Amino acid sequence: MSTVATPAPPSELLARLQALPPVEDPWWVRLRRAAPVTVAVALAGASFTVVAVAYLVGGAGRTDLVRPGFEEYAAEFFGPTPTAVTASFVSVPPEQLDAQGWPCHESLAGDLRRTAAGYDQVDGVVTVTYTDGTHRLTLYEQPGRLDRSRLDGFERRTFDDTSVWVRGSGTGPLVVTWDRDGIVYTVVTDVAPGLLARAVSELPEHEDPSTWERIGTGLDRMTDWVAAA
C-alpha cells in the first residue's frame, strides 16, 4: 500500500464542491459559542441554583427536637412567687419580644391579662405570665419541634382545630404542649378548659411564607452557614 500513489480526485467533483453555497450554523449555535454569552449563561445557571437552594432551605423549619421542662414548669407554677417570672429568666419588655417574633399578647381569652415576660438566654425559652386575678396561665415558647417520643403521661386532644398534648392531675396544674411553625408552645395553667381552648386558639396560626420570604430566609441561613465554616 505504501507504493501505491494517492489517487487524485476527479475534476468534476472539485468543481461541484466549489459551486456549493457556504453552510452557516443556526443563530442559536453561534450565540452559544460566543465567549461573553457563555459566561453569562454560566452565571445565570449558578444564580438559579443558588436561588433554588435558598428556596428549599428557606422553607425548611427548625428540626431541633425539643422536650420542654414540664416538671420544672409545673413546680414553678406553685413557687413562692407564682405571678413572677422564674428566677433563671431575665425580665424583658414584652413589646421587644413581640417585635422579635415571639407571641406575647397583652391578653388571652379576653380575661387573662399579661403580668410579666422574660427570656432565658441559655435555653432560648420565652415565658409570659397571664392572670385574671384568680387563675393563672404561664406560656413557654422555644424554637424547634416537639419531641413526641418524650410525652409519657400526655394524651392528645383538639382545642379549636389545634392538636395539642395534655397532661393533668387532681392536684397539679394542667400542662398543654404543641408545636406550630417552628415554635414549641407549653402552657401551665389552672384555668377552665373552655378558657384554655380560647387562649390556645388565639396564638398565631401557621402562615405559609411567600416565595420571596422563603428565598430571603434561605439566603440568611446559607450566609450563617458560610460564616460559621
Residues 43-54 pLDDT 10s: 566 666 766 665
Question: Is 138's pLDDT higher than 80?
Answer: yes
Question: Is 136's pLDDT higher than 70?
Answer: yes
Grid cell, residue 173, equals 396544674
Q: Which of 28-37, 105-114, 165-174 has the lowest mean pLDDT?
A: 28-37
State the chain's mean pLDDT as an integer: 76
Higher local confidence (pLDDT), 44 or 85: 44
Could you confirm whether domain 65-201 is CATH 3.40.140?
Answer: no
Question: Is 131's pLDDT higher than 60?
Answer: yes
Q: Kindly state the percentage of the chain with pLDDT values over 70.
A: 60
Distance of alpha carbon 178 from its chain centroid, rounded? 16
Q: Which of 18-27, 131-140, 159-168 has the lowest mean pLDDT?
A: 18-27
Distance CA 65, CA 27 (A): 56
CATH 3.40.1000 segments of the chain: 65-201
Phi-psi sector, 40: left (phi>0), alpha (psi -120 to 50), beta: alpha
pLDDT of residue 208: 47
Residues 154-169 pLDDT 10s: 999 988 778 899 998 6
- Quick one: average pLDDT of 192-207? 79
Residue (of 68, 220, 57, 228) closest to 144 by Cα position? 68
pLDDT of residue 53: 60
Tell the residue number behind the cell numbers 384568680, with chain if given. Answer: 134
pLDDT of residue 93: 84
Output the pTM of the full model. 0.60
